[in-house]
Structure 1
């Protein structure tokens, strides 16, 4: 039976939109959760401005646990919670929930690494001027790390693009779902090639935009 391209092309458009929705929404929530986590990890670590070994150890352990679980396993493991939140375990909305669980700890670590790149002398100078911990975070640490934070957001976005495609293995929608449904199950190699090329284009665009924004911030 010949492959029906007339049916495939409209679904490809829907798959692209579904992938964009999954990535954008999950990235937004992941940043809202992961950004504060990263900041807290830095300021509570031993020797920093709000040193708290207990808080640091607990947060670091939780993040490590989530980051050590492969996404495909996490996807299946939290299906009951996904159903509770979205009312379903399949579809674009359902895929967003595990994507957030996957990306938020990752964003937290990326933010932590970006802030740790700031020279210790910056914090010491801020303390010498009598700045409060809040002022040190917002007026010294974050501005100094802004370029690196843009690159971190770029890495997180690219990771989410890959994870969103993987969500297609369990009916998560998007380009990954198309690749499995039409490409793998129906042995249509051209469909797989199309979806892979589109994902590569997405990654290249995101990386180029992230590099540009980081360069602009660095110049300022």
Structure 2
């Protein structure tokens, strides 16, 4: 009698643990697919990448891959959406109450860290832009534009309050994006000229200091 009660009491826990493990396994598999897709998309583009190659790199079957993602295009869009979420989070934190110069300085650091730590994502985004963003157009027209517009208003508020010098907010954002992402998108060029990359701590620090000084000199308020 006692053993039956004990057995009955453990079943819900066992079922829960089993369900949790299955859910985690699905998340791990989906993550592996997206990681493999990112690597191949960033090298060959969406047209030059075959689903079979992604599946092989992720160590899943093609059928299993298409269970999680209905098509290569859907997988590509989800990879790009995840990329945008990571990249835009630092910009989304801008608010009028912050110290403007310190916020911009820190934003440059974060963007350069992203170029160092996520070069494949940066190259993939660059490739998408060069091809006219055929699969990402809606993401650029709506969420991205709305975010940049709202942060341009924050920058204009900083200017009005005298926290930074008058500059065009959009060009300031574009300048930070282009200068920091250059070190990922044109990594081969950087290495060829300097024999170095952001992976070297000393080169990263020197690059960061120079970019911060160059950009911040243009926004420092007049005394």
Q: TM-score, normalised by structure 1?
A: 0.30
Please identify which structure carries the higher helix content: 1
Higher CA-based Rg: 2
Higher relative contact order (CA 8 A, sep 6+): 1
Q: TM-score, normalised by structure 2?
A: 0.30
